[in-house]
Structure 1
Amino acid sequence: MRPSLPDQRRAQELAILNEIPQNGVPWNLLNMRNIAMDNTVTRKTKKGTFWADLWNGIMPLCKGYNTSGRDKEKRLPCHASSVIYGHTASRGLDLQRWTLGLDSGCVYGRSMSALVLDADSSATDARRVDVELRAPDDEDDEDDVKHTTVKFGDNGQARIVSVDCHQHEDSKHRLEDEKDDRR
């Protein structure tokens, strides 16, 4: 009996997390920004290729498992997967088809973003829409909320919700201290 699609996806996700040795190294998971030419992980943004660009280039080739052997189209035996990541404030909100970078720089006083999956997120056709929602009284003390709909998974959609952050005096000093420590 052939495994169901949800079972195949679960097995693939577990393999990505458990069977790729580099994914078990905490430093890689916390610091990966780019992949260098020698296929090593680097946190240097000027060296190599941004990992999410590589991921987004490969995912269109994931077309499931071909059991007939007749399909001559170039394909990989996988199902496309979305990756949600953070800790990349310098890139800002980075929404690509198969990767969603949510670090929109709150620590620097920019905004905080969240991915919202609704129960029916796979039921509708997804297209990107930007909407600005305001509180009913539209007072200055209310933060503006930005809402973006993006494709998520095979046929679904998700919402990215962002709110403005206010940099506290404390965090400004901490960031200046961290810069001094790096010098």
Structure 2
Amino acid sequence: MIAHSEGTPCPGGSAARRPAGIRPPELVLMVGLAGAGKSTRAAELAAALPAVRLSPDEWMRPLFCDPDPDGQRPVLEGRLIATAVEILRAGASVILDFGLWRRQERIALSWLAARVGAVARTEYLPIGREAQAERIAERHRRSPEREWPVTQAELDEWREMLDEPGPAEAAGDFGARAAEDWSEWIAEKWPTAFAET
């Protein structure tokens, strides 16, 4: 995390001045595999902080009748990120219930939060292979109209893609790379994150 005095924006940022003693808004990055319980935990955190929770899973099926139609998920995630930035600018906290398996995603989002005077941290929910498979199968049995079937091969492939966060990320320390400019990376990963509203 980039250390700055209260109300001082990061280089190139647009953080608003905040009176001394007022805590900055928080961007909580939910990290975990499918079935780990991220959405349940995110809802608990949203009530406790309080914070606005944004989850692409709750938008994909109502908008497109599909969990990932023709690669539209990054487009939707980008719009949710742009919305999160506006909420953070307004002084409220946000929970991104995305999964965020890759470390680069989390570093980039921590950089973006710092640019608007917010702090970021991860909330990681690990889950074992067998427990994950059981939860995913049970969810599909309970709500086949909302939960799509997932094969064990897909679950194993996703498990390989996860960069597990350590205690530093949970405490808000995303390392030296969080000081770099991530705007181009974000624009490529989430093409609508900086789009005009």
Higher RCO, 1 vs 2 (CA within 8 Å, ≥6 residues apart): 2
**Structure number with bigger Rg:** 1
Verify same fold: TM over 0.5: no
Higher share in helix: 2
